[in-house]
């Protein structure tokens, strides 16, 4: 693939609406290629004009044009207010091309523009109609970061945090035959704004094929998984809270207070029940068989998850693991459980709906149980089956 433009724009001024030059907020913008090389202006090909488009949450574009041959490498984007979640889109053209052929393209991760603040934006650009890997910025990257995961892993949890960063936690290392050789207790953060990974300086309990649920507090609730293989996976029923921005206690143990069967490959679903409870369903138990049991976690008062309550729920009709469990935005039905591996080890096409409907006329739960706001149960919707059995799917 032919080399193309790769350089740094320093001091790209993004002016707030109605401000004079003295009040401009400076934003440094770096353009770089997937291979991380810079200052390849001489290899840019015919592109000598850069179009910069900035869009805010309202979707309205603000555009500036930059002469790629200008040694000052400065542009002015006017009429841009201060705000959050802006995106920058960059395209390279030839100034004399009447057909406006695009030679390279790039887009930034969301960024904020604040009065008196300094933003540094990295935009990886690629030649049009080519595919390349995302790489970290060579100029703006943080110390101690990498382009790729610090540790290769399977069975880890991947959780998008409120600020857009991604928490990769736990998992296992395997040999060439896919056998687990080590269960990991490390965590890494991926920052999409800089396309870089960073190993966190503290550890969680070693676990793989666990669940990780982002709570409204911004903390991540880890539960279950297996901690070792001896020779079969040995699951646990422990829980931890991860708060990556808490410098004092980034990892806290969460007592359950009830007997919960150890499990892995279960599902955890944050419910829209007005109480921000988390529903845990199924999974593989200590004997290697799928589980039908379910339970919920209710965060504590004042939003402190560490003071939360755990309550057993009525069992599902069908034991299952490697299934999906999705949040439902309805008054009484709060989640739908689909597919998975059933008790015979085969994929199932069955669907069950988790309900907290307190109506005495509600029927269809295991043992003819009556659901309530605290203890829900599962019903089989009439005709509710997948067209084809499946497991390890997403929903």
Does 310 score more than 90 pLDDT?
yes
Return the pLDDT at 15.
40
Does 321 reside within a domain?
A: yes
Q: What angle do CA 266, 270, 276 make, to 5 degrees?
A: 140
Does 95 reside within a domain?
A: yes
Specify whether 387 is located in the same domain as 301: yes
Q: How many domains does the chain have?
A: 3
Does 390 reside within a domain?
A: yes
Hey, is 283 helix, strand or coil? coil
**Residue-by-residue DSSP string for 156-221:** -EEEE-TTS-EEEE--EEE-TTS-EEEE---EEEEETTTTEEEE-SS-----BS-EEEE-TTS-EE
Does 140 score more than 80 pLDDT?
no
Does 307 reside within a domain?
A: yes
- pLDDT, tens only, 154-165: 999 999 999 889
Specify whether 47 is located in the same domain as 108: yes
Q: Which position has the higher pLDDT, 92 or 19?
A: 92
pLDDT band at 304 (very low <50, low <70, confident <90, very high): confident
Average confidence (pLDDT) over 286-291: 96
Q: Is the dihedral of CA 191, 192, 194, 198 positive or negative?
A: positive
Q: How far apart are CA 277 and CA 258, in angstroms?
A: 16
* Long-range contacts of residues 321-324, Cβ cutoff 8 Å, at least 24 apart: 321/263, 321/265, 321/266, 321/282, 321/283, 321/284, 321/290, 321/291, 321/391, 322/265, 322/391, 322/392, 323/267, 323/281, 323/282, 323/391, 324/267, 324/393, 324/394, 324/395
- CATH of residue 177: 2.120.10.80
Among 31, 249, 314, 1, smallest CA distance to 129 is for 1
Domain finish residue from 233, 254, 275: 254
Does 57 reside within a domain?
A: yes
Going from the C-alpha of 371 to that of each of 134, 149, 277, 342, 359, the distances in angstroms are 48, 44, 15, 24, 8
Query: Are β-strands 172-174 and 180-183 bridged in parallel, bridged antiparallel, or unpaired?
Result: antiparallel
Specify whether 266 is located in the same domain as 383: yes
Return the pLDDT at 39.
38
- pLDDT, tens only, 213-236: 999 999 999 999 999 998 899 999
Which of 166-170, 179-183, 328-332 is least confident? 328-332
Q: Which position has the higher pLDDT, 288 or 148?
A: 288
Return the pLDDT at 21.
47
Specify whether 272 is located in the same domain as 395: yes
Specify whether 38 is located in the same domain as 74: yes
pLDDT band at 100 (very low <50, low <70, confident <90, very high): confident
Domain finish residue from 94, 127, 160: 127
- CATH of residue 33: 2.60.40
Average confidence (pLDDT) over 42-50: 64
Q: How is residue 241 written in tokens?
A: 């809270």
Specify whether 304 is located in the same domain as 344: yes
Q: How far apart are CA 297 and CA 224, in angstroms?
A: 13
Specify whether 116 is located in the same domain as 58: yes
Domain finish residue from 67, 93, 127: 127
Does 326 score more than 60 pLDDT?
yes
Return the pLDDT at 382.
85
pTM for this one? 0.76
Specify whether 280 is located in the same domain as 326: yes
Does 132 reside within a domain?
A: no
For the chain, the average pLDDT equals 83
Domain span at 369? 259-395
Does 122 score more than 90 pLDDT?
no
Specify whether 36 is located in the same domain as 111: yes
Does 133 reside within a domain?
A: no
Specify whether 147 is located in the same domain as 274: no
Average confidence (pLDDT) over 16-45: 53
Return the pLDDT at 113.
77
Does 274 reside within a domain?
A: yes
pLDDT band at 77 (very low <50, low <70, confident <90, very high): low
Query: No. of H helices and E strands in the chain?
Result: 0, 30
Specify whether 122 is located in the same domain as 65: yes
Does 41 score more than 60 pLDDT?
no
Return the pLDDT at 9.
44
Q: Which position has the higher pLDDT, 33 or 39?
A: 33
Residue 82, classified by CB atoms within 10 Å of its CB into exposed (0-12), middle (13-18) or buried (19+), is middle
Specify whether 96 is located in the same domain as 17: yes
Hey, is 226 helix, strand or coil? strand
């Amino acid at each position: 693939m032919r080399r193309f433009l790769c350089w740094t724009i320093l001091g790209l001024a993004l002016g707030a609406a109605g401000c004079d030059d003295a009040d401009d907020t400076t934003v440094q913008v770096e353009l770089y290629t997937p291979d991380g090389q810079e200052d390849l202006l001489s290899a840019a090909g015919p592109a000598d004009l850069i179009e910069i488009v900035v869009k805010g949450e309202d979707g309205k574009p603000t555009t500036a044009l930059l002469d790629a041959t200008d040694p000052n490498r400065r542009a002015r984007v006017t009429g841009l207010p201060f705000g959050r979640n802006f995106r920058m889109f960059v395209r390279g053209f030839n100034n004399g091309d009447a057909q406006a052929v695009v030679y390279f393209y790039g887009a930034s991760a969301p960024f904020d523009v604040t009065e008196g603040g300094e933003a540094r934006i990295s935009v990886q650009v690629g030649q049009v109609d080519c595919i390349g890997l995302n790489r970290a910025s060579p100029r703006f990257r943080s110390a101690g970061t990498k382009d790729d995961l610090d540790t290769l892993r399977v069975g880890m949890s991947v959780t998008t945090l409120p600020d857009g960063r991604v928490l990769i936690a736990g998992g296992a290392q395997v040999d060439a035959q896919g056998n687990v050789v080590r269960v990991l207790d490390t965590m890494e953060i991926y920052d999409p704004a800089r396309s870089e990974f960073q190993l966190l300086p503290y550890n969680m309990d070693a676990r793989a094929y666990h669940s990780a649920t982002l709570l409204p507090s911004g903390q991540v609730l880890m539960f279950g998984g297996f901690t070792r293989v001896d020779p079969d996976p040995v699951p646990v029923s422990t829980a931890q809270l991860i708060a990556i921005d808490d410098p004092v206690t980034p990892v806290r143990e969460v007592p359950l207070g009830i007997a919960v069967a150890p499990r892995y490959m279960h599902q955890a679903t944050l419910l829209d029940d007005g109480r921000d409870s988390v529903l845990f369903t199924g999974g593989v138990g200590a004997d290697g068989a799928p589980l039908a049991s379910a339970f919920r976690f209710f965060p504590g008062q004042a939003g402190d998850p560490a003071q939360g309550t755990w309550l057993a729920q009525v069992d599902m009709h069908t034991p299952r693991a490697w299934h999906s469990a999705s949040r439902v935005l309805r008054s009484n039905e709060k989640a739908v459980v689909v597919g998975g591996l059933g008790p015979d080890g085969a994929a199932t096409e069955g669907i069950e709906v988790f309900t907290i409907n307190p109506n005495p006329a509600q029927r269809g739960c295991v043992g003819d149980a009556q659901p309530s706001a605290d203890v829900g149960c599962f019903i089989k919707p009439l005709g509710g089956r997948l067209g084809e059995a499946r497991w390890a799917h997403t929903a």
